[in-house]
Amino acid sequence: MRGLEQQRDSGKVRKPGRAWTVEKWLRHWVENIAAPSVRETTMVGYRSSVYKHLIPGIGAHRLDKLQPEHLETLYARLQKPREQGGKALKAATVHLAHRTANVAFNEAVRRRRMVENPARVAKAPRVEQEDIIPFTREEARGLIDKAAEIRNGARYVVALSVGLRRGEALGLKWSDYAVKWRHGCPKGSTCRSRDASKCDLREGRGTLTIRRAIQQRTWQHGCDPDGSCGHRLGAYCPHRRDGGVVESEVKSRAGRRVIGLPHPVIESLETHRSHQEIDRERAANLWADEGWIFTNRLGRPVHPTEDHRAWKALLRLADVRDARLHDARHTAATFLLELKVPLPAVMELMGWSNAAIAKRYMHTNEEFVTAIAAEIGGHLWAEEDDTDDDDGPATVRLAI
């Protein structure tokens, strides 16, 4: 009785009635609470953690009796080698399951299904941060040069120069692209009587407006009940639904932005536009005229898997070390650091809502470090003429 009174006084009394099991709560939370309110890509991680790891591991426990030790035992078992009865999962995968449990049980506490969240106390496995090495200027230039030789190569020029996320780049439409041309020829030239876009020395000022993103959704079973078709994965179900390449909103409010384009990027996009017209003529009436900048050969959005394969092929073509496509975004952010662009402007260009993200994306590579060292040397030690003796050698003095 005293224990119940203490819970009452502290505001930590769970709802009356029969307690739910962990499995019942997790199923309810992921399908009825999380699904309508989070992005599809987030749901992929949530469902994987819930159905593959959390429910098989702790689903039988009563929700109000779940302890941090139950979670820690599960995390250890998930990381054990298979020959020892574990799943041999990476620490990052187990950490995702921990974060999913934390979100789910926080909601259970808020709805008074639990008194306290055990995931807030449980120790999650430590995840070693992967070292990310952005491309050097030479590597980036090599990739850009070779990108001109492949289909949709301008997509990777955009990635390296302005650092768009994959979904943002694949979600671009020609209506999002604006350019104004200026004559680059001398004043008084006969070329000035023509449209500036026809000038051989034209100069372009352009922008891209980021409004949407392309996502790859996992196919769901359309048979009833799920799996009755005989296939384990929804992708092979004859009645599959709600999957494939879909258009979605950008990642955050900060992601909706307008970015300026360097002139070489504009020229790359214009060349890409002319190549796309050839694809349109070849496809004839099969062409899906939906206005996408980067398309497959029938005018539809590029599948993220094909985009990944093309990137890997570009790395081999340019003889550049293997790296993730997302490392191009790190590279673009690092170039902004080297150019000493103010952080608020960097956040606007990259679509960040939190300044702390900059630390993860902007790297001081060896090239930048040595350049800083040279500037320090030039600042501290300045060579000045000895004014007392015109014929004597120059002396080196501290500049401070």
Task: Tell me what the pLDDT averaged over the chain comes to.
Answer: 89
The token pair at 244 is 């494939």
pLDDT at residue number 7: 64
pLDDT at residue number 65: 93
For the chain, what is the HEC assignment?
Answer: CHHHHHHHHHCCCCCCCCCCEHHHHHHHHHHHHHCCCCCHHHHHHHHHHHHHHHHHHHCCCEHHHCCHHHHHHHHHHHHCCHHHCCCCCCHHHHHHHHHHHHHHHHHHHHCCCCCCCHHHCCCCCCCCCCCCCCCCHHHHHHHHHHHCCCCCCHHHHHHHHHCCCHHHHHCCEHHHEEEEEECCCCCCCHHHHCCHHHCCCCEEEEEEEECCEEEEECCECCCCCCCCCCCCCHHHCCCCECCEEEEECCCCHHHCEEEEECHHHHHHHHHHHHHHHHHHHHHHHHCCCCCECCECCCCCECCHHHHHHHHHHHHHHCCCCCCCCCHHHHHHHHHHHHCCCCHHHHHHHHCCCCCCHHHHHCCCCHHHHHHHHHHHHHHHEEEECCCCCCCCCCEEEECC
pLDDT at residue number 284: 95
Q: Is the predicted pLDDT of residue 391 greater than 50, yes or no? A: yes
For 263-289, what is the HEC assignment?
Answer: HHHHHHHHHHHHHHHHHHHHHHHHCCC
pLDDT at residue number 17: 63
| Cβ within 8 Å of residue 238, ≥6 positions away | 222, 223, 229
Q: CA dihedral in degrees (271, 259, 353, 171; nearest 10)?
A: -30
Looking at this protein, which amino acid is placed at residue 335? F
CA distance linking residue 392 with residue 388, whole number of Å: 9
Residues 298-310: what's their mean pLDDT? 95
**Confidence band of 397 (pLDDT split at 50, 70, 90):** very low
pLDDT at residue number 383: 65
**pTM of this prediction?**
0.78
Q: Is the predicted pLDDT of residue 398 greater than 70, yes or no? A: no
Q: Which residues pair with 220 in a beta bridge?
A: 241
pLDDT at residue number 141: 96
Residues 187-195: what's their mean pLDDT? 90
**Confidence band of 368 (pLDDT split at 50, 70, 90):** confident
CA distance linking residue 263 with residue 383, whole number of Å: 39
Q: Is the predicted pLDDT of residue 385 greater than 70, yes or no? A: no
Judged by average pLDDT, the poorest of 18-22, 287-291, 382-386 is: 382-386
Q: Is the predicted pLDDT of residue 399 greater than 50, yes or no? A: no
**Tens of pLDDT, residues 214-266:** 988 878 888 888 778 888 778 888 888 878 888 888 877 888 999 999 999 99
Residue owning tokens 């950008």:
250
Return the higher-pLDDT residue of 139 and 368.
139
**Confidence band of 12 (pLDDT split at 50, 70, 90):** low
pLDDT at residue number 132: 87
Return the higher-pLDDT residue of 398 and 201.
201
Pairing of strands 213-217, 244-248: antiparallel
pLDDT at residue number 395: 47
Return the higher-pLDDT residue of 189 and 39.
189
pLDDT at residue number 233: 79
Q: Is the predicted pLDDT of residue 43 greater than 60, yes or no? A: yes
Residues 67-76: what's their mean pLDDT? 96
**Tens of pLDDT, residues 86-119:** 999 999 999 999 999 999 999 999 998 998 999 9
The token pair at 274 is 């002319």
Highest mean pLDDT among 148-162, 179-193, 219-233, 356-370: 148-162
pLDDT at residue number 217: 80
